[in-house]
Chains A and B, each alone.
Chain A
């Protein structure tokens, strides 16, 4: 694993420090410029005028637990859909793998990318359809058409070139979930589980006045 490194923002000159060594894309904390890593340097690929407001208690730097593994939140993608907004928080797990914490309607779920080969054609994945992913069976619960609203921190892939995407959410009978991100071909598949706020043992959460 490469040590976290620092560089400076090609847009405003502020120091950029990577929280996750394998980060492909990051955002300048000062000017919100979106930067993509190229070998030893970062390239400015865009700027974000207004970063989307969020009501999430999660923020960059929050620590948490998923089972017996700890994690640190290092990045975020904000999405918008017909019923509002949610975030996918990019987490660096204690075993240096990458995971995602979803906060849609403050229902928390942790997922990790799995091998999606062998998945049926996405056009056949209608709501109610049963799908086998690895050893687990899931039922298609919802199709979500989401817009990319903005990013923050370190990400394992680039998003600046994306606008909208179809996400297929799947659930099962024991609290598991899977998300198929159809942005790319073949689609990316993430599998994990819903977790209660208490089970995640968060530290460093954002504060809310009066709460």
Chain B
């Protein structure tokens, strides 16, 4: 390596102090010669910053004055580096004869160059000039811009003009000149293209909460909270809903897996079946019997008792008791079967069924028998033949129906605010649904 025997240049002074050739007010240039224009903070004249005499480019500026929320000269820290506010402008677009204005701040660091902030109704963006040229695509209607694999949806195209400017700018500020500005959004990012004088400049904004900006620039004054939804404001409901939504999707997948396993593993095994006869005696309408014992095997599981009776315009009420032979532990369930039919003016009709099921949950394995008590019925029909069949481990579905809705309802409730947030976002875009209708309504 050669060690150059060079005298390093002396440190550059902090700022050049000049005076405005129009009004004589003092003007400090902090941008170390990189600014192209400076707008006099006192009279608003736009001056040539590269000219040692600050030649006047445009003498007059609109009469109104706007105070920047972060004053010129303020130093802040962004991503660990110091930045100084050296320029401030208001930019205005006109949509359907209504003016919308936002403000922009020029930040400078003598090593890192320029960085920008924008603010619209309390919504802040930190903006970097891009060196990449995004790819544009317009298949299927709405144009998109693609940068580093990320797709940005076109949001708005408008003619933007500077309506107020003070301080230094690395471009030539011309109050009133219109540049074509196109915005593409993929929250929290906003891609913007500004076309002027045969050049297209791309920049990337990152939505930044106002409290973060205030803290970065040590602002103690309070700022009004943001109003409305901004083009690249992250959807808080989508973020929250996203996490919960993932949990819900996981639950849903688990539920489906359980259902599949349940059906696949269910024994659905017939462990007992026998025929009985119920004869209603005159003095006592009830008649009880006990079955032979049977064995329920495996894990604790449900037991289904299926009753089939030769009812013929008749009914029977069954009380079924499942009794553990060893412990005497019992479970009761009841079922009424009734089957009526006939013919009337409308034709044939029937009501009820000769068959019915009842279910007992979580029955541990063991030896069991049933006590079956039958009662009731039409007086004219004292004899009922019936079959009792016992099935072990029958797949059940009703739980899944409830669980399914239990998962879908919170998902739906999360989805509604997320969708409404997106609707409010896009209502401000070129793609607002029936924008002209609503504005006409507003005018009334």
- A: residues with CB less than 8 A from B are 4, 17, 19, 29, 53-55, 57, 59-61, 72, 74, 83-85, 105-107, 109, 127-128, 139, 141-143, 171-175, 177, 194, 197, 204-211
Contact = CB atoms under 8 A, between A and B. Distances in A.
A55 B33 contact: yes
Nearest to B199: A142
Nearest to B112: A197
Given A127-B198, A207-B11, A172 B31 contact: no
Interface of B: 1-2, 4-9, 11-14, 31-36, 49-50, 82, 109-114, 129, 131-135, 146-148, 170-172, 198-200
Contacts of B135: 173
23 contacts: A4-B2, A19-B4, A55-B31, A57-B110, A61-B4, A83-B36, A84-B170, A85-B33, A105-B34, A106-B34, A106-B110, A106-B112, A127-B200, A139-B133, A171-B132, A172-B133, A175-B131, A206-B8, A206-B12, A209-B12, A209-B13, A210-B14, A211-B82
A59 B199 contact: no
B279 to A, nearest CB: 91
B12 A72 contact: no
Nearest to A195: B131
A147 B129 CA distance: 25
A165 B16 CA distance: 30
Given A60-B4, A141-B199, A173-B134, 5 more contacts: A84-B35, A106-B110, A173-B132, A197-B112, A209-B14
B9 A59 contact: yes
A57 B113 CA distance: 10
B241 to A, nearest CB: 33
Contact of B1 (A60, A72, A143): A72
A17 B6 CA distance: 10
Contact of A55 (B4, B12, B82): B12
Determine chain B's interface SS by DSSP, over half rule.
loop
Nearest to A94: B1
Given A53-B33, A208-B12, A177 B131 contact: yes
Given A72-B2, A172-B132, A172-B133, A57 B111 contact: yes
A209 B171 contact: no
A174 B134 CA distance: 8
Contacts of B82: 211
B114 A105 contact: yes
Contacts of A208: 11-12, 14, 32, 110-111
A85 B50 contact: yes
Nearest to B50: A84
A68 B423 CA distance: 48
Contacts of A205: 111
Nearest to B11: A207
B131 A171 contact: yes
A114 B209 CA distance: 45
A20 to B, nearest CB: 8
Contacts of B4: 17, 19, 60-61, 72, 74
B132 A106 contact: no
Contacts of A72: 1-2, 4
The 5 A-B pairs at the shortest CB distance, nearest first, are namely A55-B32, A106-B113, A55-B33, A194-B131, A207-B11
A84 B1 CA distance: 34
A109 B132 CA distance: 12
A174 B132 contact: yes
Which residue, of B2, B49, B109, B129, has the highest number of chain A Cβ atoms within 10 A? B2
B110 A55 contact: yes
A106 B111 contact: yes
A141 B200 contact: yes
Given A106-B34, A127-B199, A208-B110, A19 B131 contact: no
B290 to A, nearest CB: 84
Contacts of A4: 2
A137 to B, nearest CB: 10
A81 to B, nearest CB: 10
Contacts of B132: 171-175
Nearest to A211: B110
A139 B129 CA distance: 17
A1 to B, nearest CB: 12
Contacts of A17: 4-5
B112 A206 contact: no
B170 A105 contact: yes
B53 to A, nearest CB: 14
B205 to A, nearest CB: 17
Given A139-B133, A173-B132, A55 B34 contact: yes
B198 A84 contact: no
Contacts of B50: 83-85
Given A74-B4, A105-B113, A208-B12, A173 B133 contact: yes
Nearest to B111: A57
Contacts of B131: 107, 109, 171, 175, 177, 194
Contact of B109 (A60, A84, A211): A211
A6 B424 CA distance: 71
A96 to B, nearest CB: 12
A83 B14 CA distance: 22
Contacts of A139: 133
Given A127-B199, A173-B147, A107 B36 contact: no
Contacts of A128: 200
A171 to B, nearest CB: 5
Nearest to A139: B133
